[in-house]
Structure 1
């Protein structure tokens, strides 16, 4: 009986709930991680965007498809393994008051995030559909048209629709209707990708803070190099397939650069407050748990609804494709999901 109580006291003593700072070892390498991880995540996010736009980088379509579906798997695994699980752990910390253990707050916040995104999109697209109807433009609720979830739906259909719209404009002279249609298409794409990037950015800043002060720095550092590169690739392929008017062409590049900067910013901030910031304190646990829960909801909704449903179930091109192409796409997605889930073993 005494041995059990002693082991319990030892375990409790290992929990640092004080206000002291985090680990300060390997300071030079922690500073270098700002640039190394920044380069990896920026390259992962920016390469698909540049490869899609330039003729000098002749990337085969099968490679782009692999990157796109691999990225979808990465995003879904990130939501469950790298966000929801740490959120549950943070909000069940021994440093928090017992009241936090009376209810699964992390799951409730995740659920709140999912339904908040759903309601916002529902209202936005009902408004958008009504607006398009007034100007005589067609809107496909399943994402098969440029006026809907064009950032996540079948890109080839989007290109065909744009081309046919251009021809219709030349024949009928209805340039104003076409402009309204493309403007709604651009807005839908920007909103969809912005929601995805917001969830990724919150997560990236938090893991950057953790890396800056974590005692297990070396292991976490190696894992995060791959983690952020994969995550950047997942977001970058979404950015690369955006079909925007000429004046908005800078948005995919801007999105890729922002993605690459989020983790380095988190690391830099963490290093700046390393003498006072302790990720184990009650306040830090609550903040990280709440933000991770909300981010998890965003990525779960985006991954399952926008990526899986619109790219497979509601994608006519995919449903009518050969078994080989379907297997290749699903296999690429499962590979991304599996590798990202495996990285959760260490980070």
Structure 2
């Protein structure tokens, strides 16, 4: 039988336990140690991670080699997105769902995998609701149809000047399409590229925003437990983690031809996601161990997986020239997977 007696003169608790007429006293302190981390350390983490996140998003836009070699570089971002789904989001969700007490009627249902499939199906349904059937036809009536980053599923021999020697222009209502010789393509391209770059299909913007939201949610969850760790290697590893995730976002934005204003918005939102997670984890440390992150990570994994499949279809689909830069594309794709796989060791 245990007897608890609290001393009023001190801030400690003395525990007396008696077993077989033997009394053993254990001294237990109730005082909680103060946090040893200084505020400047937290500010350094926030500034560094936010800066690397913004730089990663803006790097594809400000770097001319990435613009000219986009078809060969973009598979790197596709590989990063695949690794984010399988090696970052889903494992965290599996670990968190093991702590969730499942209802009896669900039995041994795999909650993380089920929510991942649900996130994938949500993307499928919403894409069909917000589908723009005229976007592909309008894209194929311009010179940009031969670009591999265009959602054009028609045969290249019907629209690409590479095979026909002519460039088709979009017909006006009640008129037939006109064919221009090869030497007049530059004038047509210069006039049509300005209008096509300023008008982005709603479907492409929707996928871009869904990718941004999913990765931002993951960045917030990554930042939550970061404030409780004093390891400098973890901070730098997450910094490179954010840099490569930002590059995948920037490459996706470059593929749909976002302007500088759009890139700045993506970078700011992505930078605020990781910083808000770090600050929230510092002030509300209990959130870092909550099981609610299992649901968000599982849904985000399904959404990111769907977007990764869409990106892969753009890079290696039947409408692209499979023999042009095939080795470079595959190398960039596997390099993106490998880089994010290495980052998964620390992040």
Q: Same fold (TM over 0.5)?
A: yes
Say whether the 8 Å CA contact 1:92–1:101 is kept in structure 2: no
Q: Greater share of helix residues, 1 or 2?
A: 1
Q: Which has the larger radius of gyration?
A: 2
Q: In 2, Cα distance between the equivalents of 1:42 and 1:183?
A: 23
Map 1:1-347 to 2 at 5 A: 25=37, 28-51=40-63, 57=64, 61-62=68-69, 64-93=70-99, 96-97=100-101, 99=103, 102-125=108-131, 128-129=132-133, 137=137, 150=150, 185-213=200-228, 215=229, 217-243=231-257, 250-274=261-285, 277-280=286-289, 284-285=290-291, 287-304=292-309, 306-317=310-321, 319-321=322-324, 325-347=325-347
Task: Give TM-score scaled by structure 1 length.
Answer: 0.70
Say whether the 8 Å CA contact 1:83–1:292 is kept in structure 2: yes
Structure 1 residues 145 and 124 mapped into 2: Cα distance closer, same or farther (>3 Å)?
A: farther
Structure 1 residues 193 and 165 mapped into 2: Cα distance closer, same or farther (>3 Å)?
A: farther
Say whether the 8 Å CA contact 1:152–1:307 is kept in structure 2: no
Q: In 2, Cα distance between the equivalents of 1:41 and 1:151?
A: 28
**Where does structure 1 lack aligned partners over 5 or more consecutive residues?**
1-19, 52-56
Q: Greater share of strand residues, 1 or 2?
A: 2
Structure 1 residues 41 and 183 mapped into 2: Cα distance closer, same or farther (>3 Å)?
A: closer
Say whether the 8 Å CA contact 1:152–1:238 is kept in structure 2: no
Task: Give TM-score scaled by structure 2 length.
Answer: 0.70
Say whether the 8 Å CA contact 1:151–1:193 is kept in structure 2: no
**Where does structure 2 lack aligned partners over 5 or more consecutive residues?**
1-31, 178-191
Aligned residues: 287
Give CA deviations for 1:183-210 in whole Å, capped at 9, x if unaligned.
9843122112111111111101111112
Structure 1 residues 329 and 229 mapped into 2: Cα distance closer, same or farther (>3 Å)?
A: same
Q: How many angstroms does 1:86 deviate by?
A: 0.5
Q: CA RMSD in A?
A: 4.0
Structure 1 residues 98 and 123 mapped into 2: Cα distance closer, same or farther (>3 Å)?
A: closer
